[in-house]
Amino acid sequence: MAWYKRVEIPIMITVICAVLQIVPYFFNVPQWEAVADDFIEWQMIVGTSALFLGAGSLYLLHVPKVKRKRRGWEYSVVLLIVMTIMIIAGLPIPQVGLGLSNQVYQFIYRNMTVALSSTMYSILAFFITSAAYRAFKARNIDAAILLISGTLVMLGNAPAGTAAWAGFGHIKSWLFDVPNLATMRAIRIGAALGSIVLAARTFMGVERGYFRGGGE
């Protein structure tokens, strides 16, 4: 096996990068901090380069689809046209009027991207309502607790609820500040412990899901 295909190399790179980021967080070592800052800059450069790879992958995926007129090729045409316009209009060349302040770029972003994003969020409201209707059925004790808590929170948030009885607002605040906050802290502690265990497994080479397609 060639040396650059050995599994120890990505493990070693991961450990070195992690140590360079962890040590300056706990110890005040200017030399380490400078190296860590350089690694962060490299991370931004690599991430930006990945955007070009993503755009190229989209072209390679959708151009053949349009040529062969596969199912949904019309949407691919729209995607390719808009993406090409946004890439050209957003190029950082202010001398010719291109960049983030370009009128075409701003028009597409404000009138298409923002509008479509708001539309998607508004559609989610119907799914949330349907899920809440199915969930708020007291089939057992857990569902009953969820139903009562959700009803009290809604009454505490609704102006009509607090107008009918001011106690709904206090009950809602107690539910948020005591049981909800305690549960969230427990979840965060569990997630932190899980992250520590995952990091330890990664450093020891046990966790290999981040390279070679997740193979062992």
Domain chopping of the chain, boundaries? 11-83, 90-135, 136-205
Give residue-wise pLDDT tens across range 146-178: 888 888 998 999 898 989 999 999 999 999 999
The per-residue pLDDT for 192 is 96
- pLDDT range class, residue 60, cuts 50, 70, 90: very high
| 137-152: average pLDDT | 83
Nearest to 22 by CA among 191, 194, 195, 188: 195
* Long-range CB pairs of 23-29, under 8 A, 24+ apart, other chains included: none
The per-residue pLDDT for 212 is 58
* pTM over cut 0.75: no
The per-residue pLDDT for 1 is 62
Asked if residue 213 has pLDDT above 70, the reply is: no
Give residue-wise pLDDT tens across range 79-108: 999 999 999 998 888 888 888 888 998 998
The per-residue pLDDT for 211 is 67
What's the mean per-residue pLDDT of the chain? 87
SS (H, E, C) the chain: CCHHHCCHHHHHHHHHHHHHHHHHHHCCCHHHHHHHHHHHHHHHHHHHHHHHHHHHHHHHHHHHHHHCCCCCHHHHHHHHHHHHHHHHHCCCCHHHCCCCCCHHHHHHHHHHHHHHHHHHHHHHHHHHHHHHHHHCCCCCHHHHHHHHHHHHHHHHHCHHHHHHCCHHHHHHHHHHHHHHHHHHHHHHHHHHHHHHHHHHHHHCCCCCCCCHHHCC
Asked if residue 216 has pLDDT above 60, the reply is: no
Asked if residue 215 has pLDDT above 60, the reply is: no
Task: State which amino acid sits at residue 110.
Answer: R
The per-residue pLDDT for 214 is 47
Asked if residue 77 has pLDDT above 90, the reply is: yes
Give first-to-last CA distance, the chain, whole Å: 16
The per-residue pLDDT for 14 is 83
Asked if residue 181 has pLDDT above 50, the reply is: yes
The per-residue pLDDT for 146 is 82
Give residue-wise pLDDT tens across range 20-59: 888 888 888 888 888 889 988 998 998 888 888 999 999 9
